[in-house]
């Protein structure tokens, strides 16, 4: 088996993840749900194809605090590990803060920009969606779409 392209772990090291392929895309999210889940004022996430992402231990189970959103956290330390959104099929999103290669995963866009904290200013020139950005994010992954 080939070495993983991307690796990561929770804060305590009890939960780990790896991906066999590069991220599909990387994006900032300004929504209050992602801020609360990660504890960051402006979290960024990398999307992976579900079949390429592996969580360990394999007993990790997602929870749904919001309908249509499944999130995985470490059962020991509570670190956020991954999230799946029904409106973004074929994508599992991982917070950059848990990834060992975070410095190489550069965001390409902003989602929920209308919910950005008013005191946080990031003028990076990237495309911004006022809402979820689902059309843009899904189109980025489907070049024929």
State the Cα–Cα distance between residues 21 and 127, nearest whole angstrom. Answer: 25
pLDDT tens digits, the chain, 145 residues: what are they?
Answer: 568 899 999 999 999 999 999 999 999 999 999 999 999 999 999 999 999 999 999 888 999 998 999 999 999 999 999 999 999 999 999 999 999 999 999 999 999 999 999 999 888 998 888 777 777 777 766 655 4
| DSSP string covering the chain | -PPPSEEEE-SSSSSEEEESS--SEEEEE--HHHHHHH--SS-EEEEE-GGGEEEESTT---EEEETTEEEEE-TTT--EEEEEETTSTT-EEEEGGGBTTGGG----EEESGGGS-TT--------B-SS--HHHHHHHH-TT-
Q: What are the tens digits of pLDDT across the range 101-117? A: 999 999 999 999 999 99
State the Cα–Cα distance between residues 85 and 69, nearest whole angstrom. Answer: 5
Closest CA to 133 of 91, 74, 71, 78: 91
So what's the pLDDT on residue 116? 92
pTM listed for this prediction: 0.90
């Amino acid at each position: 088996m080939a070495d993983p392209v991307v690796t990561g772990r929770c804060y305590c090291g009890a939960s780990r993840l790896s991906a066999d392929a590069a991220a599909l895309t990387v994006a900032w999210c300004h929504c209050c749900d992602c801020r609360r889940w990660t504890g960051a004022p402006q979290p960024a996430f990398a999307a992976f194809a579900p079949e390429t992402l592996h969580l360990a231990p394999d007993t990790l189970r997602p929870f749904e605090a919001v309908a249509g959103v499944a999130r995985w956290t470490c059962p020991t330390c509570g670190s956020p590990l991954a999230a799946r959104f029904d409106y973004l099929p074929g994508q599992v999103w991982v917070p950059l803060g848990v990834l060992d290669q975070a410095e190489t995963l550069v965001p390409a866009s902003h989602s929920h920009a209308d919910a950005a904290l008013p005191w946080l200013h990031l003028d990076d020139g990237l495309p911004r969606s006022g809402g979820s950005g689902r059309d843009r994010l899904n189109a980025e992954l489907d070049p024929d779409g």
